[in-house]
Structure 1
Amino acid sequence: MAQVELLQVLGEHSPARIGDLALRQRLAASTVSGLIGQMIASGLVAREVDPADRRASVVTLTDAGREQLTAWTQAHERRLDAALASLDDGERAAVAAALPALFHLAEYLGEPPDTAADPA
């Protein structure tokens, strides 16, 4: 699942540095680096020189990575469609009514830790 989440982030924010990916995913840079290493070995991502700073590297999705992300997204959408179809009309209406709040919550949770308000 962690690799899928990294693919999703790279699908939206590519190329990206390991440190930036770690910050977005709230993981240690060493953890992300290990995951990226596995994904490079699988052909899902590639590491390249950062054109803005030739001393650094960035990670990009490969064509195989884009295809894998598309396949995962389509499979997830099919599972979600089947789950929603199992609900009655009232339950589907309740889910639809909750969507604006859920989107807001997801946006808040997706913010980097330094910009999200501290709930403490």
Structure 2
Amino acid sequence: MSPQSRHHPPTPRPTAADAPDARLLTEAVTHLRRALRASIRTEYPWETLPMAQVELLQVLAEHSPARVGDIAARQRLAVSTVSGLISQMISAGLVARAVDPRDRRASAVTLTDAGRGQLAAWAQAHERRLSEALESLDADDRSAVRAALPALLRIADLLDPGSPS
């Protein structure tokens, strides 16, 4: 029997008792993000922004105007990828490209009112869904989530080299 034809049973998923914390946290974050995104699309079909565009809107909400190269560096993406996303978002009216006020030879991207509105609606829909889910937990679970939030935010800061921490 060749090595390729051997059947190996699936590796059992680790339990909370034997899985490293990092693996469990990765699974939880991945599952939460996927579940939230799917539930939003089911209950709010108007919410069609790809996550990459949402993340660019979030960056521009915090740092606008911004050059495409600066956005790419902040998001750790290729300039061509960001440029393509920006072009799609310009067509959708979510962002605008104009002359960079700091360097008239360059262009910068800004968030439009429509982009701000779309980002606000996206955030409100997600907060509403998370609020509903949190309300369905018992008091001990809600307290555990609340107690974990500061540490989770610190982890996010530690993982983000652009964070002011």
- Partner Cα distance (2:92, 2:123) in 1: 19
Match of 1:107 in 2: 157
**Inter-partner Cα distance in structure 2 for 1:111 and 1:42:** 31
Q: What is the aligned-residue identity percentage? A: 71
Partner in structure 2 of residue 27 of structure 1: 77
Q: CA deviation at 1:64?
A: 0.6
Aligned-CA RMSD value: 1.7
Q: TM-score, normalised by structure 1?
A: 0.89
1:63 pairs with 2:134: no
Residue matched to 1:72: 122
Deviation at 1:23, TM superposition (A): 1.2
**What aligned pairs does 1:1-120 form with structure 2 within 5 A after superposition?**
1-112=51-162
**C-alpha contact (below 8 Å) 1:24/1:111 kept by paired residues:** no
Instruction: Spell out structure 1 runs of 4+ moving beyond 4 A.
Output: none
Does 1 or 2 have the higher relative contact order (CA < 8 Å, sep 6+)? Answer: 1
TM-superposed CA distance for 1:43, in Å, is 0.3
Deviation of 1:3 after TM superposition, in Å, equals: 0.2
Retained in 2: the 8 A contact 1:9–1:21? Answer: yes
CA–CA separation in structure 1 for the residues paired with 2:133 and 2:80: 36
**Stretches of structure 2 lacking an aligned partner (at least 5 in a row):** 1-50
Structure 1 SS opposite 2:107: strand
- TM-score, normalised on structure 2? 0.66
Query: Distance in 1 between the 2:106 and 2:82 partners?
Result: 16
Q: Which of the pair has more CA radius of gyration? A: 2
Unaligned stretches of 5+ residues in structure 1: none
